[in-house]
Structures are given as structure tokens and as C-alpha cells.
Amino acid sequence: MPEPTIWWKHGIVYQIYPRSFQDSDGDGIGDLRGVIDRLDYLNDGTERSLGVDAIWFSPTYPSPMADFGYDVSDYCGVHPDFGDLATMDELIEKAHARGIRVILDFVPNHSSSQHPWFLESRSSVAASKRDWYVWRDAKPDGSPPNNWIAVFGGPAWEWDQATQQYYLHMFLKEQPDLNWRNPHLVAAMHDVLRFWMRRGVDGFRIDVMDRILKDPDLRDNPPAIDRNAARRFGQTALQQHTQDQNWPEIIDAVRAIRKVADEFPERMTVGEVFGPPENIVRYYGGPSLDGLHLAFNFSLVRIWDRRWTAEHVRAKVEAFAAALPSGCWPNYVLGNHDVDRFASRVGADGRGEERARVAALLLLTLRGTPFVYYGEELGMTNARVPEERLRDPARTYGRGRDPERTPMQWTPAGGFTSGEPWLPYGDLSRNVEQQSADGRSLLSLYRRLSWFRRSSDVLRFGDYAAVDGTPAGVYAYTRTYGDERLLTALSFTNEPIAFELPASLAVREQIISTHERAGAAASQLIELAANEGRLLRLG
């Protein structure tokens, strides 16, 4: 009996950074009309397209753009750079007509300091929305209420001269934290979700889910154990975030959000949360499955060169699966708008593209929802953005996040805009036009894998089991559903490698090789070229 297909479990989700996907009006900034124009690229119902089942947008709301949309000044609108509500409605309708679901980014932890709620809140200590944000008196010596550090650096508290109190901001000072202990704020945010679901939005990626409630007593965070981490992750890594992140009461707020989502059929929520798998899976809500539908599993995002090994990747896949309570569904992510491009993270020796092919096979044959970041399907690398064109205010991460947010590469000349793109293009030798014409390109591999997955019950629903005893440098696993069984064999080495499969796993045929080579079809000897992945049907 085939299982019922639930889109957010069995489909492929594609992340669009809206400023950078497609500009339709020549202002150099991507927009919703541009996305509408590119829907056929995403899914036109044929194997010429990417075959994605859902798109999620980084924020498209009105915003002063201090953090490029993660500073929302109206939760129920569309920024004029991107279009208007009517264009969003049209996008939802046209996406749905192609079987593509639409997921918006919901930003509950903070608003913009220009949001009317905050303007009212900061107008006086007696303001009716004062308590919608987190205001506190200074310590007797005038210093902030505690030692919390903003994720983007500096103290998490900003002094308000007019009302003589500090307000909390876990990110920029232009992003004041909302107070999820205030029931009126909570009700208003729930109504935001309803507003969009009524318009047909299918779900929400929930930003900074793990910080919306903090220690009500605002106690200090203890110092970090590994102070060296600050070199990589900035000042915030100087502390253990025991009081301002993953606070236990957040799960109650998550359950309430889930209830709102459940007022509408087939909606989904996926939360941005950090920490070890045991922490992340808490957000699914436990055996009653009353929390988030998915909580991002960032373990493959935290991989760079020296961690791209068969042993490490297998361990990460299995640690997450093992931590998941029964009934919960895994997910995998290679990259997003906050981290270096995957092909760059594993490409210090120039072999990033080969590894990106292996990663595509991994992502699209594991048991769990795959999330693809725009351009990953082309092997887009970090762009070199000259100092004077850097835009991201969050320089915590060294050079900021601009290099992974550059325009989508449609043609050898770019094809993203008729004007001057807001960020420069990266390496345009990787582009949709050329890769579409080349059956051996990474894009063609993504398309083949995606359409194969869409038609394959065993890849969408099947059980996962690792094959033990493979040589160092090889990670192999089977997916089984009924009497169908597939084998994925991945090489993580720069040398050819071969291994014998146990007789219980008889090879019938090859479905896909990342190297596009025929391979010895029905042999028990699995040969892999350097950094090759193969998907085989077992008999």
C-alpha cells in the first residue's frame, strides 16, 4: 500500500532569497514578479524543470532592510521592492497551479525598530504596547540588565534615552525582541499566521525559533567553555546560551503556533533552531507530535572541508535520525543564506563541484525532506564581493553573508536583471542556460535525481539502513520499501575505490552515477571513481 503523500514530508523544498532570484523591473533587486516568471524553471510538470514541491522565501515584508527583511515593519504586507499583496496572491495562485507550495518566513523573535508596535512601545513607559517588547531598568551603575551578547556582536541591550530604560535585541539594535510572555502580542502574531494562511500560504519557516522566550529572571549567561570558538562565530560564542536560547518554555509557544497552523489543512511549520540533535528534536513536540512539523537539521550545514568524510557524514545523518522521536520526520539542508555556499565550504582543494554532486545524491536519496538553497543546483560558489559592495550588516561572521546571497546565475551574462544587480554576480561560468544544455551538468543531475525521487516510493518513504564494513572513504546505505530496495554508494576520497557488497544485496542495475558513467551494472563489486556517487537498484 503506497503511503499517502504529504507534501512537506515527501517533497523537495527550494529556498529563494527574493532579492537575488529574478528582477523583473530593472532596479537590480529581485522581486515576486520575477519569481512568477521563473516558476517553470522550478516545476513545469516535466523533467526539464527542477521538480520542486515547495518554495520558501526569505522575508518579503515591508522592512527598512537593516537585516535585509529580517527586520519586519509590517507582518501583513509586501515590501515595494518585491511587489505588493496582489502580486503575492498571484504568485501563490500560479505556484499552486504548478503543484508548488508556498512557504513564507515568519520572524517572531523581533520586529523592526520602525514597526508601529515598537514606535508605540518606546513612546513612553506607560505606552499600551510597552510590554510587547522587553524593557528593563539599568543596573544601579547604569549598565545593561545582564551580560547577554547580540548574535551580531555587542551588548544585546540598547539604552533608550527618552524613556530611561534598556530594550533587548538579540540581533541588531534595529531588531528589538518581541515579548512572547505578553498574551496580546502572542494573539497578534497568531493572527499574522492566519492572515497569510487565508491567502493560501502553505506554511512557515520560523526564524530564530529557539530564542523567542528567555529566562524571565534575565540571569547572566555563563562564559563559554571553548573561548576559541569566538574566532569563528563571533562574540556571541564567548558565552554559553543557557539563559537566552532554547529556554524550556519555548515549546509551549511552539505548541500554540502549531494549533494555529492546524486550523488550516495541510499547513506546515519548519523552525530554525540550533544545538545538538537532542535539543533540535524537542521542537517537534514529542510523542504527541504537537510541535513543529520539522525543525531544521543543520548538521550538513556545519560541514566544511575536513569534515567532509564518509564517517563524519554518516555519523551526522544517524545521530539526527536516532534522536528523533518515533513519528517525527527528518530533514536535510546543505546551505542557506547565512552560511558559505556548499561548493565553497568543501572546495578548498578545487574539488567542490565533484563534492557538490556527491552531496546532491546524498541529499536527494536520504530519508527526510530535502531543502535546496537557490543556486546550489548549479554548484554556485561564494562570490568575491569587493569591500565597497558588501551590504550585510552582520559582520560578526567576518566578511558578512553577501557572498552566498549573490544573484541567481541564469545565463553567461547573468540574466538576473536588466539593471545593476544589488550584489555583484559570482562565477558566471555556472549558469542555468549552459547547464541546461549539458546533460552532464550538476543542474541536469539535480533534475534527474529530483524527478526520480518524485516517482520513487522507496526514496520518499523507504527505510534507511547503512551498509557496514565499507572501506574508509565510502558511505553506503540502502533504502527499502516493500520489496523494492535501492543502494546509494558515495565516495569521499580523491582516489578510485572499490568494495564488495554482501551477497544479500544483489545489484540489478545502475540508476544514476554522479560521474555519468555506465559503471559495471550488475556486479557485486561496487567501483567508485574519485568523489563519485552511484545510485543502484538491488534485486
Q: How far apart are CA 397 and CA 400, in angstroms?
A: 5
Which alpha helices (H) appear in 402-503, and where do they start and end? 432-437, 442-454, 457-461
Q: Nine-digit cell at 347?
A: 572546495
Instruction: Give me the least distance between CB of 401 and ligand GLC, in Å please.
Output: 7
Among 7, 75, 171, 374, binds ligand GLC (CB under 6 A): 171
Among 32, 186, 189, 208, binds ligand GLC (CB under 6 A): 208
- Residues marked active site are found at 207, 263
Q: How many residues does the chain have?
A: 539
Which alpha helices (H) appear in 348-469, and where do they start and end? 352-365, 432-437, 442-454, 457-461
Instruction: Give me the least distance between CB of 394 and ligand GLC, in Å please.
Output: 6
Beta strands in 312-396 (DSSP E): 331-333, 369-373
User: By CB neighbour count within 10 A (0-12 exposed, 13-18 middle, 19+ buried), where does 509 fall?
Assistant: exposed
Beta strands in 345-441 (DSSP E): 369-373
Site string for ligand GLC, 265-294 (x = CB under 6 A): -------x----------------------
Instruction: Give me the least distance between CB of 210 and ligand GLC, in Å please.
Output: 10
Among 67, 158, 244, 354, binds ligand GLC (CB under 6 A): 67
Q: How far apart are CA 500 and CA 94, in angstroms?
A: 49
Greatest alpha-carbon pair distance for the chain in Å reads 77
Site string for ligand GLC, 87-106 (x = CB under 6 A): --------------------
DSSP type of residue 376? G
By CB under 6 A, tell whether 154 contacts ligand GLC. Answer: no
Among 120, 160, 338, 427, binds ligand GLC (CB under 6 A): 338
The set of residues, in sequence order, having a beta carbon less than 8 Å from that of 21 and lying 6+ positions away, is 30, 34, 35, 38, 374, 407, 408, 416
**CB-nearer residue toward ligand GLC: 43 or 269:** 269
Among 115, 293, 337, 453, binds ligand GLC (CB under 6 A): 337
SS (H, E, C) 57-70: ECCCCCCCCCCCCC
Instruction: Give me the least distance between CB of 17 and ligand GLC, in Å please.
Output: 9
> Virtual CA dihedral for 119, 393, 13, 75, nearest 10 degrees?
10
By CB under 6 A, tell whether 207 contacts ligand GLC. Answer: yes
**CB-nearer residue toward ligand GLC: 158 or 207:** 207
**CB-nearer residue toward ligand GLC: 245 or 531:** 245
Q: Are strands 101-106 and 54-57 parallel, antiparallel or unpaired?
A: parallel
Instruction: Give me the least distance between CB of 468 and ligand GLC, in Å please.
Output: 37
Q: How far apart are CA 130 and CA 164, in angstroms?
A: 13
By CB under 6 A, tell whether 70 contacts ligand GLC. Answer: yes
DSSP type of residue 12? -
**CB-nearer residue toward ligand GLC: 253 or 529:** 253
**CB-nearer residue toward ligand GLC: 272 or 532:** 272
Instruction: Give me the least distance between CB of 119 and ligand GLC, in Å please.
Output: 19
Estimate the crossing angle of helix 183-198 against helix 250-261, to 10 degrees.
30
| Terminal alpha carbon distance of the chain | 20
Instruction: Give me the least distance between CB of 171 and ligand GLC, in Å please.
Output: 5
Site string for ligand GLC, 242-261 (x = CB under 6 A): --------------------
Site string for ligand GLC, 341-380 (x = CB under 6 A): ----------------------------------------
Using CB under 6 A as the binding criterion, the count of chain residues that bind ligand GLC stands at 10
Q: How far apart are CA 334 and CA 404, in angstroms?
A: 12
**CB-nearer residue toward ligand GLC: 333 or 394:** 394
Cβ-contact 37, 22 below 8 angstroms: yes
Cβ-contact 18, 57 below 8 angstroms: yes
By CB under 6 A, tell whether 210 contacts ligand GLC. Answer: no
Q: How far apart are CA 51 and CA 99, in angstroms?
A: 10
Which neighbouring-strand residues pair with 373?
Answer: 15
**CB-nearer residue toward ligand GLC: 67 or 81:** 67
Half-sphere exposure of 438 (CA within 13 A, CB side): 13
Instruction: Give me the least distance between CB of 172 and ligand GLC, in Å please.
Output: 8
Instruction: Give me the least distance between CB of 242 and ligand GLC, in Å please.
Output: 19
Site string for ligand GLC, 376-405 (x = CB under 6 A): ------------------x-----------
**CB-nearer residue toward ligand GLC: 152 or 461:** 152
Cβ-contact 281, 319 below 8 angstroms: no
Q: Nine-digit cell at 343?
A: 561548493
Q: How far apart are CA 21 and CA 416, in angstroms?
A: 7
Q: How far apart are CA 89 and CA 104, in angstroms?
A: 13
Residue nearest to ligand GLC (CB): 70
**CB-nearer residue toward ligand GLC: 41 or 68:** 68
Instruction: Give me the least distance between CB of 153 and ligand GLC, in Å please.
Output: 12
Site string for ligand GLC, 31-60 (x = CB under 6 A): ------------------------------
By CB under 6 A, tell whether 153 contacts ligand GLC. Answer: no
**CB-nearer residue toward ligand GLC: 115 or 355:** 115
For 160, phi then psi, to 5°, come to: -105, 105
Site string for ligand GLC, 219-238 (x = CB under 6 A): --------------------
Q: Which helix (H) or strand (E) holds 476?
A: strand 474-481
What residues line the site for ligand GLC (CB under 6 A)?
67, 70, 107, 171, 207-208, 272, 337-338, 394
